[in-house]
A = this chain, B = another copy of it.
Amino acid sequence: MRLLNPIDQIFLRLERRNQPMHVGGLQLFERPADAGPHYVRDRVAAMRAHCDVQPPFDRRLKYRFGQPFWVDDEAFDLEYHVRHLALPAPGEIRELLALVSMLHGALLDRSRPMWEVYVIEGISGNRFAIYSKFHHALMDGVSAMRVMRRSLTDRPDPDALRVPWQLPRPASATGRTPLADTWKTLRATTRQTLALPGAAREVVRAWHDARDDPAFTRINQAPATILNRRVSGSRRFAAQSYDLARIKRLARHHRATVNDIVMAMCASALRRYLQDNDALPAAPLVAMVPVALHDGADEAGNHVAMIFASLATDVADPVARLAAIRASVDHWKRRYRGMSPEQIMAFVAALSAPAGLNLLTGIAPRRQSFNVVISNVPGPHETLYCGDAEMTGMYPVSIVLDGQALNITITSYREALEFGLIACRRSLPSMQHLLSHLAAALDELEPDDAGHRAASGREGVAADGG
């Protein structure tokens, strides 16, 4: 019996029926060529046979004196947590995304360990999928992605089945997880660093700069948009893979980073979507983006900060828009360069305090720090397997909040950037149109003579229909 730490308590307190606080991931797999009709069923049975459940997967909440504690679940029921579903024939990806939209909208049972794993069969192209769902109080999105990553192997092996709840090695050993480290730092330092003079000085300087420098995104200046209303309890999930080699080529061409291109894609897609809905504000949208700040030699010294970057959605020309976004991002990076991780965390906490306060109190924000979260978390380059089934795609499924009706989380896998968009289905009708707008944004950035415009999207993913 252990009291939840204050940050994890916040994720419980933030949760409402229209605002579930779990993160998820969707993984697509190809059945081996020789797989029989019971392949997925046998796989589910094998997963359920892994019943030596490890922390935190065996933990459930228990309230004592009004405080939430973690206790072991004495009536653990693996069949409840691991579920077997199927798509109706022909099992197109739009049906898979519709199913994930539905599953992601449902609250987890608080009287059990707050995670669920769905194995979904009957997907066209001889595929199956795994959708996993973890409460943010149990683990954050990056940890969830790490756990899902660690459930896979780097060689096909029918006998080497791993499951998130019973992994061979301790969680700390694998992978770079800058955002997870950020949370750790935040958890460790929030209280102490809020009063740091360095951070306070930076907040003042940020306000100052905003008056003088048009490229700098002033705090709390994000415009009111349809992205920033109260959300309903229904979700729409959309996902697509985009060719990373092409994005890298465009980045080189425009002397930008991959992340700059990703942000330009999002900016262009949002601009077009809001235009289609007659809802584009005059002022540019602001994205909150976690970015890794490299110190140079010391890789362990990497840290992450949140930047509040302009998406320059007031700029019509795609190349000029990319330049404006890059200038905004670079400004923030320069600002952070001289600061320690603790100072940055304190700075971010101060900047996003109105948003956090709004979340906790449920008051719709009058002053909006940002319009949308765009999070790009690096993923594995090598091909991964679930037993002997090759993973062909993996897409993050994040959280939608009151005032933040859209979240765009991106990861990479092999030669693709994998976009996962989750939205309030009611606030953002036909949100899946953003996927084709993202592809069109790449076309816009091609040099005029490139002739790549036809090949923007990749096979294998598409929008949840309707």
Contacts and interface: CB of A to CB of B under 8 A. Distances in A.
Contacts of A88: 40-41, 84-86, 121-122
A102 B109 CA distance: 11
A13 interface: no
A75 B426 contact: yes
A232 B40 contact: no
B86 A86 contact: yes
A83 B109 contact: no
Interface in A178-236: 232-234
A292 interface: no
A295 interface: no
A106 B84 CA distance: 17
A232 B111 contact: yes
A40 B88 CA distance: 9
Interface in A57-112: 75, 77, 79-80, 83-89, 95, 98-99, 102, 105-107, 109-112
Contacts of A302: none
Contacts of A451: none
Nearest to A88: B86
Interface string A17-47: 1100000000000000000011011000000
Contacts of A40: 88
A273 B98 CA distance: 39
A99 B85 contact: yes
Contacts of A425: 77, 80
Nearest to A119: B88
B111 A426 contact: yes
Interface string A125-169: 000000000000000000000000000000000000000000000
Contacts of A380: none
A248 B157 CA distance: 59
A233 B108 CA distance: 8
B17 A466 contact: no
A433 to B, nearest CB: 15
B109 A106 contact: no
A95 B85 CA distance: 9
A233 B77 contact: no
Contact of A80 (B79, B83, B234): B234
Nearest to A15: B17
A429 interface: yes
B18 A110 contact: yes
A234 B109 contact: yes
A425 B81 CA distance: 12
A16 to B, nearest CB: 9
A14 to B, nearest CB: 14
A159 to B, nearest CB: 23
B75 A429 contact: yes
B426 A89 contact: no
Nearest to A41: B88
Nearest to A44: B88
Contacts of A89: 37-38, 41, 86, 121-122
A406 to B, nearest CB: 17
Given A41-B89, A84-B88, A105-B106, 4 more contacts: A77-B466, A79-B466, A107-B233, A111-B234
The 5 closest A-B pairs by CB, nearest first: A111-B232, A109-B233, A86-B88, A106-B106, A79-B466
24 contacts: A17-B107, A18-B110, A38-B89, A40-B88, A41-B88, A41-B89, A75-B429, A79-B466, A80-B425, A80-B466, A85-B86, A85-B88, A86-B86, A86-B87, A86-B122, A88-B121, A89-B121, A106-B107, A110-B233, A111-B232, A111-B233, A111-B234, A111-B426, A122-B122
